[in-house]
Structure 1
Amino acid sequence: MGPRPPDRGAGVRMSDRRKRAKREPANDRPNVNPRRVAFDAIRAVTADNAYANLVLPRMLAETDNTGRDAGLATELTYGTLRSLGTLEAILTAASGRDMRELQQDLVDALCLGAYQLLYMRIPPHAAVATTVSLVKAAVSPRVSGLANAVLRKVAAKDLDEWAESLATGDRLADLSLRYAHPQWISTEFEAVLGPDELPAALAADNVAPPVHLCAKPGRITKGDLSRETRGGVHGQWSPYAVYLPSGDPGRVKSVATGLAHVQDEGSQLVAAALAEAPLEGPDRSWVDLCAGPGGKTALLGAIAAQRDAVIDAVEIQQHRAELVAKAAKGLPVTVHIGDGREFGEDGSADRVLVDAPCSGLGALRRRPEARWRKERGDVDGLVPLQRELLAAGLRLARTGGIVAYATCSPVIAETEEVVAAVLKAGGAELVRPQWLTGRVPDAERGDFAQLWPHRHGADAMFLALLRKTGNR
């Protein structure tokens, strides 16, 4: 049987994998080394539909893996999950078997081994031997011979050689295999970037980003925050950003006490662009219609506190509303649990943020398993909600008020087309986000702003600013 393309691997959504194999409890583990921790974390994601960024830190703490061991477990977990579609295509070719015909725990172990062989500087004999030992202990001794044979075949070629041998001649399919993206995502990115820049964008999604901190204005300067982190570097674009060189951000005193918080620099720029957009008339009532988990609300709240403004933050889910309240503690922010489409009085707000629920394709580098959980239909399902929320934001804004529409996605259907559909109803006009595009090179996307990991080192945030011109 020939190799299957990465989209077929991507088409097996995590919820479907869960039906195939439930994860066995990892009690009484004989050897809790970094590779076993990584395997258990991968199993939690593929079998239990868990999120790696939530389960892995807990597993590391429970097994006392720190320092280099924790770093190895993190690289193995995140790297394997990012590369699943490509790894499974290579394993299919090396074994002559469809990976869907094998038990899922064996597939997960094989992917973990193949990642070490193809993406890391681990000697092949060590990668094969440790993976076979893992299969014996965590899967079954009966399949250890199969694992050994398959991984030795994988080790016979490097990643470039495998990509060449599996190439189909379809440019997008081959790029998607090489850079471990479902082909539909590559297609969506190319529609915005064009073919020449696409490889750099896909490659950037596979590089783990540094932690970005936001120094809340009026509470701490980014200079003081940088000095506190002992090596933190000032962000390139945001006046509030500090890049944390290493370590747990929760151990930074200013983060623990609420003077700063973790927030991607792109999100900081989007929030600040709304706050800095020119506005005539009163400027005291701000609204964040989709506030959870609260990063943008907290930054806006800190800026609002310096201007004698107040913010109503709306979040439909209670647990996320609680996160907003925690993030904005001590700031002029009132948190409301409710549907942003139904909130507030018409014409009551001066500035409105609509950070709409979206596919999240702009943050794939931070969420290793996300690309394999998404389907093109997920985008289509979100568009009606995005349009309704933006329309609600314009309803809330007073005449002359500013509405920011933001998504952590560059996909045309949930960015430009949403804005165009709402503008078609009348009562609003576009405002160029010059505060952002003027300080960040190559961030213009027509009348909008668009950030990219490969260009700016930030998540691929999209921003449109609209001014209310009349009744809707």
Structure 2
Amino acid sequence: MTNRGNNPSGRARSTGRRGGPPRPPKPVRDEARNAAYDLMRAVDERDAYANLLLPQMLRQRDITGRDAALATELAYGTLRGLGTYDEVIAACSDRPPEEIDPPLLDAMRLGVHQLLRTRIPAHAAVSATIDLVRLRVGQGPSRFANAILRKVSQRSLDEWLKAVAPPVEDDPIGHLAITYSHPKWIVTALRDAVGGSIDETAKALEADNERPRVALVARPGRATIDELVDAGAEPAPYSPYGAYLVDGDPGRLKAVGEARAAVQDEASQLVALALTRVPLDDRDGTWLDMCAGPGGKAGLLDAVAAQTGARLLAGDSQEHRARLVWQATKEAAVVVADGTNPPWREGVFDRVMLDAPCTGLGALRRRPEARWRRDPRGIPDLTALQRALLKEALRAVRPGGVVAYVTCSPHIAETRAVVGDMGELAETLDARAYLPEVPGLGDGPYAQFWPHRHGTDAMFLALLRRRAV
């Protein structure tokens, strides 16, 4: 006789499929994790910029508060840690990451980040990731992901690093590349830029993996530091016009909404101010920002120029970037112009800002995917463009006038090597002398900012005075 227990209907319980095992419970859709996953896929499939796309996605999906914070941490944290996480996945799998279907690999990377670098309990991290895989990739791949993630969960991050990274004494570049999740060529470039110190290279790489604070600039004559502080910011340590937002959306600040203040890295403010501080021996009424888009430095230069009676011309070769410059400035003239074949006459400007196109290695903490997107094979073409632009900048400035050559990269090929070729055209000034409030800018005559030293992007500045004809 069949024992029906507490089943009063007398019918056999459903197993989900006749004669088969019970169906797994329906996966739970987590909007924060789905947003992070969609961002990862957009970066992979169409080279999306994470810092531009994620805020838009969160607004469109009405993801706010703790869920928005979780999505941001998962997306940015995973993009920063890809190099480390792929090594861990490889150690747990019978196939290398490059042979794993990219949609599945991105979901697994999100899971590994939760396991190794967040306080999310391991069982919750695995369960939520498997639900994501089942919803977005498929039931079959979820079994593979489950097996890998359970292996990952058996060790801490430090234990995994000891297992997958070569010893620093045997292979310092390889060790740092895996430990701090950077391509080897970037590790080498940073090591060279800091003078060969492995310890300081490690500090620079570690700083790249820290989420930066939101830096603000109060454009002089239009906003004040006190106004930003009253709105919840705190004064910056170096820039007389800088502040840092403690928390919240900078767009909610009235001064930012009215374009009297803006989001701008503190080093970006200071290199622009250094250009304005160099004394000139004659007139000082006409300034140029050659590659001005998207307009951060132009916005500050425009405000300073208005206070001194100078006028700023700002140009960019791309129309949409020139439009952003126009929105960031108040009194500047803005043109669409190719700096390598400019429409302006030679020798008409007193001060010229050249914020040259570069690899962006100095802003990797703000653009977490950029470290994987950059290709060192493109650097020779890039440095050729930088040299061409700098020569045009020196032609544009009058004899005795000054040019600021700026890159958001510490790479020697983009910085000292480019400026070193201009000795016949210009005298190199000691840039540090015009930034007396900032320590640790290097041995000179250039100024090099660093995230681990200054809490800013790794901005490079050279100040060049055009020689008399």
TM-score greater than 0.5 by the shorter chain:
yes
1:338 corresponding residue in structure 2 = 337
1:162 corresponding residue in structure 2 = 160
In 2, Cα distance between equivalents of 1:141 and 1:445: 58
Instruction: Please state how far the C-alpha of 1:70 moved relative to its aligned partner.
Output: 0.2
1:351 corresponding residue in structure 2 = 351
The 5 A counterparts of 1:101-250 are 101-168=99-166, 169-193=170-194, 194-227=197-230, 229-230=231-232, 232-250=233-251
2:441 corresponding residue in structure 1 = 443
In 1, Cα distance between equivalents of 2:111 and 2:183: 21
Alignment length (residue pairs): 437
Instruction: Please state how far the C-alpha of 1:45 moved relative to its aligned partner.
Output: 0.9
Q: Give the conservation status (yes or no) of the 8 Å contact 2:126–2:150.
A: yes
The 5 A counterparts of 1:389-428 are 389-423=389-423, 426-428=424-426
- The answer to whether 1:46 aligns with 2:47 is no
| TM-score normalised according to structure 2 size | 0.91
Q: Give the conservation status (yes or no) of the 8 Å contact 1:215–1:259.
A: yes
Q: 1:30 to 1:113 in 2, by over 3 A?
A: closer
2:313 corresponding residue in structure 1 = 312
In 2, Cα distance between equivalents of 1:427 and 1:139: 59
Larger mean CA deviation between 261-270 and 56-65 belongs to 56-65
1:291 corresponding residue in structure 2 = 292
Structure 2 residue matching 1:444: 3-state secondary structure: coil
Instruction: Please state how far the C-alpha of 1:285 moved relative to its aligned partner.
Output: 0.5
In 2, Cα distance between equivalents of 1:86 and 1:239: 39
The 5 A counterparts of 1:373-388 are 373-388=373-388
Q: 1:316 to 1:113 in 2, by over 3 A?
A: same
In 2, Cα distance between equivalents of 1:66 and 1:295: 28
| TM-score normalised according to structure 1 size | 0.91
- The answer to whether 1:252 aligns with 2:253 is yes
Instruction: Please state how far the C-alpha of 1:376 moved relative to its aligned partner.
Output: 1.3
For the pair shown, the structure with the greater C-alpha radius of gyration is 2
Structure 1 residue matching 2:340: 3-state secondary structure: helix
In 1, Cα distance between equivalents of 2:54 and 2:462: 36
Q: Give the conservation status (yes or no) of the 8 Å contact 1:354–1:390.
A: yes
State the identity as a percent: 49
In 1, Cα distance between equivalents of 2:310 and 2:90: 59
Structure 1 residue matching 2:198: 3-state secondary structure: coil
In 1, Cα distance between equivalents of 2:316 and 2:158: 46
Larger mean CA deviation between 197-206 and 38-47 belongs to 38-47
Instruction: Please state how far the C-alpha of 1:62 moved relative to its aligned partner.
Output: 2.1
Instruction: Please state how far the C-alpha of 1:48 moved relative to its aligned partner.
Output: 2.2
Structure 1 residue matching 2:308: 3-state secondary structure: coil
Cα deviation digits, residues 434-454 of structure 1 (max 9, x gap): 354421110134210000000
Larger mean CA deviation between 208-217 and 153-162 belongs to 153-162
In 1, Cα distance between equivalents of 2:165 and 2:199: 19
Instruction: Please state how far the C-alpha of 1:373 moved relative to its aligned partner.
Output: 0.4
Cα deviation digits, residues 202-240 of structure 1 (max 9, x gap): 00000010111100001111122211x22x110011011
Q: Give the conservation status (yes or no) of the 8 Å contact 2:277–2:434.
A: no
In 2, Cα distance between equivalents of 1:164 and 1:398: 58
Which segments of 5 or more consecutive residues in structure 1 lack a partner in the other structure?
Answer: 1-28
In 2, Cα distance between equivalents of 1:252 and 1:393: 36
Q: Give the conservation status (yes or no) of the 8 Å contact 1:42–1:108.
A: yes
Q: Give the conservation status (yes or no) of the 8 Å contact 1:436–1:449.
A: no
Instruction: Please state how far the C-alpha of 1:419 moved relative to its aligned partner.
Output: 0.3
Moved over 4 A (4+): none
In 2, Cα distance between equivalents of 1:434 and 1:57: 37
In 2, Cα distance between equivalents of 1:127 and 1:31: 14
Work out which structure has the larger RCO, using CA pairs closer than 8 Å and 6 or more positions apart in sequence: 1
Q: Give the conservation status (yes or no) of the 8 Å contact 1:51–1:369.
A: yes
Structure 1 residue matching 2:199: 3-state secondary structure: coil
Cα deviation digits, residues 343-376 of structure 1 (max 9, x gap): 2111111000111000000000000100000121
Structure 1 residue matching 2:284: 3-state secondary structure: coil
In 1, Cα distance between equivalents of 2:435 and 2:309: 27
Q: Give the conservation status (yes or no) of the 8 Å contact 2:432–2:445.
A: no
- The answer to whether 1:470 aligns with 2:459 is no
1:5 corresponding residue in structure 2 = none
In 1, Cα distance between equivalents of 2:141 and 2:459: 45
In 2, Cα distance between equivalents of 1:172 and 1:161: 19
In 2, Cα distance between equivalents of 1:173 and 1:436: 38
In 2, Cα distance between equivalents of 1:369 and 1:257: 31
1:15 corresponding residue in structure 2 = none
In 1, Cα distance between equivalents of 2:139 and 2:384: 51
Structure 2 residue matching 1:368: 3-state secondary structure: coil
Question: Which amino acid in the other structure matches residue 454 of structure 2?
Answer: H
Q: Give the conservation status (yes or no) of the 8 Å contact 1:287–1:352.
A: yes
In 2, Cα distance between equivalents of 1:378 and 1:30: 44
In 2, Cα distance between equivalents of 1:371 and 1:288: 27
In 2, Cα distance between equivalents of 1:57 and 1:238: 27
Q: Give the conservation status (yes or no) of the 8 Å contact 1:289–1:313.
A: yes
1:89 corresponding residue in structure 2 = 87
Q: Give the conservation status (yes or no) of the 8 Å contact 2:215–2:263.
A: yes
Question: Which amino acid in the other structure matches residue 278 of structure 1?
Answer: P
In 1, Cα distance between equivalents of 2:308 and 2:433: 18
1:17 corresponding residue in structure 2 = none
Larger mean CA deviation between 55-64 and 210-219 belongs to 55-64
Question: Which amino acid in the other structure matches residue 457 of structure 1?
Answer: G
Q: Give the conservation status (yes or no) of the 8 Å contact 2:270–2:435.
A: no
Question: Which amino acid in the other structure matches residue 51 of structure 1?
Answer: Y
